Chain A
Amino acid sequence: EPEVTQTPSHQVTQMGQEVILRCVPISNHLYFYWYRQILGQKVEFLVSFYNNEISEKSEIFDDQFSVERPDGSNFTLKIRSTKLEDSAMYFCASSLDRVLCEQYFGPGTRLTVT
């Protein structure tokens, strides 16, 4: 069964550094999402992406964040200048359609900012 994959599984970075989190969505899916979960807190929506552009974003997704689908298979989340409070588990998800369709989640990337 096809799955969403994410790399790396764990990323440690220093405050102020740029990080890129990578995801490979399920191949025939059209909608892509990033969520994050700070330890002990809710899974929070960051951004959704369709047809090579952002279709929705949350207030968390500020100018420090960007997403890209560089090559038709990868879907990346870039944080330009990491802060301590960016430490979280970041989940990528994809779905075939937008409405009423199951979002398939990746295993997550644990980002630790020191």
Chain B
Amino acid sequence: AQRVTQPEKLLSVFKGAPVELKCNYSYSGSPELFWYVQYSRQRLQLLLRHISRESIKGFTADLNKGETSFHLKKPFAQEEDSAMYYCALNGAQGGSEKLVFGKGTKLTVNP
């Protein structure tokens, strides 16, 4: 079974502070992992994917297969980072096309 767990429903930090949004997954094969973001009144959009190993808007995420985690990090949070963040998994190796989402973490960055 494919499952994504985001243990924090809400996360609040001050501007300039580091932020880490946690994501753990359960999947028997090699997953493809993504972070999607939804800013207020906007659509879900891809923030980054593990296979690209890129940094977007200062965010990075490293896939840790030993801990089955894909935590999202940013060293210095900005107010415009306030949004809903969703971790998602795709079991593409198993031929699946679907994204399996976590429940999401609402990040608030306070001035």
Contacts and interface: CB of A to CB of B under 8 A. Distances in A.
In the complex, which range does the number of interface residues on chain A fall in?
20 to 34
Interface string A74-108: 00000000000000000100000011101111111
Interface stretch (B20-28, B55-63, B90-98): B90-98
A102 B52 CA distance: 11
Interface string B33-58: 00010000011111001010000000
Contacts of A35: 99
B70 interface: no
Contacts of A99: 32, 92
B47 to A, nearest CB: 10
B2 to A, nearest CB: 10
Contact of B97 (A3, A4, A31): A31
Interface in A40-68: 41-45, 48, 50, 55-56, 58
B46 A102 contact: yes
A8 to B, nearest CB: 16
Interface residues of B, number: 21
Interface stretch (B10-18, B72-80, B100-108): B100-108
Contacts of A105: 36, 43-45
Given A43-B44, A105-B44, A55 B97 contact: yes
Given A56-B96, A100-B32, A42 B44 contact: no
B85 interface: no
B63 to A, nearest CB: 14
A44 B92 contact: no
B34 to A, nearest CB: 8
Contacts of B103: 41-42
A99 B103 CA distance: 23
